[in-house]
Amino acid sequence: MPTALVTGASAGLGRALAAALVSRKWTVVGDGRDAAALSAAAAEIGFTAIPGDVADPGHRASLAEACPSLELLVNNASSLGVSPLPPLGGYPPAELENVYRVNVFAPLALTQLLLPALTSARGTIIDISSDAAVEPYEGWGGYGSSKAALDQVTAVLGAENPELAVYAVDPGDLRTAMHQRAFPGEDISDRPLPSSAVPAFLRLLDERPPSGRYRAADLLVAA
């Protein structure tokens, strides 16, 4: 069976993707900072749980050790940053550094560790992006600029590794705990569930289009 590593697999989109892959007979390794939530998800879905913070080099080494062969890496774990979302002019620098540490440096560092296994398998890398990476939404400067940086990292990795399929994917607004933190006290029940975006990711895996940036909404409409 092919093997996938999904970061941030304890909830939201990461959990939905892990469930879909397991249903397709993939061997899935998932991580998450909330050990209890990750263990519960792993027990329900059927994947291997390795709790930890992807921003921790030791944890990344453990993930790489658990995946000596790998066909798919999904860099899904992300940090929203400060909530409520502050303007860039007042964004605490230490908090902004942490957003970049989780959203940019960690996925690149994990990819570097796993690149030999992915290259050997002619595998796939999926980095989770956001519309905030390309649209200047008020208050989203920290998170959005980190995702813009991740988009460029993804694009360059694709250019440098033509044997791999390397995608940045904007899943759209979804009903997740992180999205709720962006709108504290507001009702976000009108947003679709994370599972609604999963077919877009499966289409990328099935059809393997050229490396690049994709919107889940476009992939779903085309499908």
Are the C-beta atoms of 14 and 77 separated by less than 8 Å? yes
pLDDT at residue 74, as a whole number: 98
Band of pLDDT at residue 177, cut at 50, 70 and 90: confident
Task: Calculate helix-pair angle for 106-121, 141-160, nearest 10 degrees.
Answer: 30
Domain 3-222 has CATH 3.40.50.970: no
Q: Retrieve residue 122's tokens.
A: 């002619």
Whole-model pTM: value is 0.96
pLDDT of 176 strictly over 70 = yes
Residue 23 CB neighbour total at 10 angstroms:
11
Out of 129-143, 154-168, 186-200, least confident range: 186-200
pLDDT of 80 strictly over 80 = yes
Out of 49-58, 103-112, 193-202, least confident range: 193-202
pLDDT at residue 200, as a whole number: 97
pLDDT of 3 strictly over 60 = yes
pLDDT of 13 strictly over 90 = yes
Q: Retrieve residue 48's tokens.
A: 């291997």
The mean pLDDT of the chain is: 95
Q: Retrieve residue 44's tokens.
A: 């329900």
pLDDT at residue 99, as a whole number: 98
CA distance 214 to 122: 20
